[in-house]
């Protein structure tokens, strides 16, 4: 049984990064980066599209209540059901209730970040409902009993040999390390599940308010099977996926596939407006949409942080991120990784819980350069760092008092020359007590946070002496 997604903390995880993850991740992300660049170069209007995408998203964020109400009305008039879930628990409970009403024993699920977010698999398994992931990557990690390590390629960290070993062990067979053969095995098993499952579960890439349409963008066809083969379709979608109309959708469809996988368009783009309307028509008899809040309304109150909801989950920011490429997705501690995880998780889980994530970045800005909807990721990271350090109206600062005091003192010293000079005079003498073989291997708190992982060079006042003696012709001594 897979575990629900509990945040594990960047610092703790970073001590246990498996050696094979960076190589596998770097290989895959490089392919996506070059594919994206080629597709973007084909579109002279790319920057205008990004601007349009950004503006539509901002407009929708500011008018989310209006568009959500319109969406609900359209879905109801198309014969669907709409449920509002305030929390992850509410969403799980609603899915369970629907499943029980229909005597569901097995559900097939297409890839969905919202259901990862609420830990739906774990919840339903505890209630004796078998839930089968049908996206190949998700199926692999479900068998492996882990979570996704990339937004769009959840098993990106695994090599074909490792996948073959997982299949062999979990499916009790001798699976070859051949991608085509592995896909064939999965397809054969899953086809049977599609035909017998009583319920299909999906997420959604967009919700079009104008017509009440759920839009799903996939490459494997499993999404279509999940949402049309069983008689019952339940979609769990975050309220942030709302867009105003079909004209907006054309912009996002152009941006999404190019940014995600370097395709012009994904292989399957599905539009679902309610259940099937007549006997003989294709599709489920019943359609339920669960609109998930789970903290999103709170984030909407923050004018800087809420830009995170412009995200269309393409994963391009992770593919170019030097931190992600070196530590892999699991290091971000929750189901969503990369730069988008670094700005979303602290806001959803609370600054105190995920306080390391805003620092899991070099602030190089590569993520913002590729983001198709122009999310100012470095700006949001700095904003969240400030919230971590100084607190805000919602939460107290999470940095321990001695560290904040030390930072305050440093700030004073750098602002007032006489304090700086006094410190430079006494610190080398004070710290020499801890010197061993020319280094400080272990210092008192709060400096011990540094020396825990590496020694400190000794404090000296050499710089001031050097400035005065070695550079006498470079102008006035500005440290005076
Ligand atoms: S933040 Fe931008 S680049 Fe990253 S996943 Fe979201 S839309 Fe894509």
Instruction: Identify the structural domains of the chain with CATH numbers, from first to last.
Output: 10-298 (3.40.50.10420), 403-470 (no CATH)
Kindly give the residue spans of alpha helices, DSSP state H, lying in 107-245.
Answer: 113-118, 120-126, 136-144, 160-171, 179-196, 222-228
The pLDDT of residue 25: 81
Give, as one character, the DSSP assignment of residue 394: S
Residue 380 confidence (pLDDT): 98
pLDDT at 281: 78
Using an 8 Å Cβ cutoff, are 263 and 207 in contact?
no
SS3 content of the chain, % helix, strand, coil (to 5): 55, 10, 35
Counting from 1 in the atom list of ligand 1, the atom nearest the Cα of 310 is: 7
Q: How far is CA 390 from CA 191, 287, 402, in A?
A: 54, 46, 13
**Ligand 1 atom with minimal separation from the 318 CA:** 4
Q: Classify residue 41 as exposed, middle or buried by CB count within 10 Å of its CB (0-12, 13-18, 19+).
A: exposed
Distance 386 CA to ligand 1 centre (A): 22
What is the C-alpha radius of gyration for the chain, rounded to an integer number of angstroms?
26
Q: Is the CB of 152 under 6 A from ligand 1?
A: no
* Residues 228/288, Cβ–Cβ less than 8 Å: no
**251 closest CA partner among 43, 53, 44:** 53
Segment holding 91, helix H or strand E: helix 88-101
Q: Which residues, at least 6 apart from 223, have a Cβ–Cβ distance to it below 8 Å?
A: 110, 111, 135, 202, 216, 268, 270
Q: In the structure encoding, which two tokens stand for residue 39, read together?
A: 């597709």
Q: Tell me the percentage of the chain whose pLDDT exceeds 70.
A: 93
The pLDDT of residue 249 is: 98
How confident is the model at residue 107, as a pLDDT?
97
What is the reported pLDDT for 477? 47
**In which residue ranges of the chain is pLDDT below 50?**
1-2, 477-480
Query: Ligand 1, from 148, 321, 340, 380: best to mutate by most atoms within 8 Å of Cβ?
Result: 340
- How far apart are alpha carbons 110 and 102 in whole angstroms? 20
pLDDT value, residue 226: 96
Q: For a substitution probing ligand 1, which of 113, 313, 368 has the most ligand atoms within 8 Å of its CB?
A: 313
Please tell me the predicted confidence (pLDDT) of residue 3.
53
CB-ligand 1 contact for 131 (6 Å cutoff): no
376 lines ligand 1 (CB under 6 A): no
Whether 321 lines ligand 1, by a CB cut-off of 6 Å, is no
pTM: 0.85
Q: How far is CA 83 from CA 88, 106, 187, 230, 311, in A?
A: 13, 22, 32, 20, 23
Q: Whose CA is nearest to atom 6 of ligand 1?
A: 311
Rounded distance between C-alpha atoms, residue 251 and residue 129, angstroms: 39
Cα 371 to ligand 1 centroid, rounded to whole Å: 5
Residue 479: per-residue pLDDT = 43
The pLDDT value given to residue 1: 45
pLDDT at 445: 83
């Amino acid at each position: 049984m897979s575990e629900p997604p509990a945040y594990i903390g960047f610092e703790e995880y970073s001590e246990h990064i498996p050696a094979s993850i960076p190589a596998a991740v770097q290989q895959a992300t490089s392919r996506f980066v070059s594919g994206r660049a080629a597709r973007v170069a084909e579109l002279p209007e790319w920057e205008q599209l990004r601007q349009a995408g950004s503006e539509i998203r901002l407009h929708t964020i500011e008018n989310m209540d209006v568009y959500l109400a319109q969406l609900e009305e359209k879905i109801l008039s198309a014969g669907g059901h709409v449920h509002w879930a305030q929390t992850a628990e509410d969403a799980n409970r609603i899915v369970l209730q629907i499943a029980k009403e229909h005597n569901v024993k097995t559900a097939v699920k297409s890839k969905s970040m919202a259901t990862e977010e609420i830990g739906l698999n774990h919840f339903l398994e505890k209630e004796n409902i078998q839930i089968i992931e049908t996206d190949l990557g998700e199926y692999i990690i479900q068998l492996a009993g882990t979570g996704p390590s990339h937004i769009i390629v959840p098993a990106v960290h695994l090599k074909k040999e490792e996948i073959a070993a997982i299949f062999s062990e979990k499916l009790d067979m001798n699976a070859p390390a051949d991608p085509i053969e592995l896909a064939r095995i999965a397809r054969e098993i899953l086809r049977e599940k599609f035909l017998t499952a009583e319920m299909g579960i999906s997420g959604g890439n967009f919700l079009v308010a104008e017509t009440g349409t759920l839009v799903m963008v996939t490459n494997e066809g499993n999404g279509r099977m999940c949402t049309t083969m069983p008689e019952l379709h339940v979609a769990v979608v975050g309220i942030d996926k709302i867009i105003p109309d079909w004209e907006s959708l054309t912009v996002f469809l152009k941006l999404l596939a190019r940014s995600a996988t370097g395709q012009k368009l994904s292989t399957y783009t599905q539009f679902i407006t309610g259940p099937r309307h007549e006997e003989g028509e294709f599709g489920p008899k019943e359609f339920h949409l669960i609109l998930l809040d789970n903290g999103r309304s709170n984030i909407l109150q923050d004018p800087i942080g809420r830009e995170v909801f412009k995200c269309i989950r393409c994963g391009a920011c992770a593919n170019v991120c030097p931190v992600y490429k070196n530590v892999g997705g699991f290091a971000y501690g929750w189901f969503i990784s990369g730069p988008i995880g670094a700005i979303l998780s602290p806001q959803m889980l609370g600054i105190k819980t995920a306080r390391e994530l805003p620092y899991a970045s070099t602030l190089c800005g590569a993520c913002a350069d590729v983001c198709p909807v122009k999310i100012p990721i470095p700006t949001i990271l700095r904003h969240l760092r400030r919230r971590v350090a100084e607190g805000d109206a919602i939460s107290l600062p999470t940095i321990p008092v001695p560290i904040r005091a030390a930072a305050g003192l440093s700030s004073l010293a750098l602002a007032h020359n006489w304090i700086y000079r006094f410190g430079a005079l006494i610190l080398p003498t004070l710290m020499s007590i801890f010197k061993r073989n020319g280094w400080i291997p272990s210092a008192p708190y709060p400096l011990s946070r540094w020396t825990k992982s590496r020694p400190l060079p000794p404090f000296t006042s050499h710089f001031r002496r050097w400035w005065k003696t070695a550079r006498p012709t470079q102008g006035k001594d500005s440290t005076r």
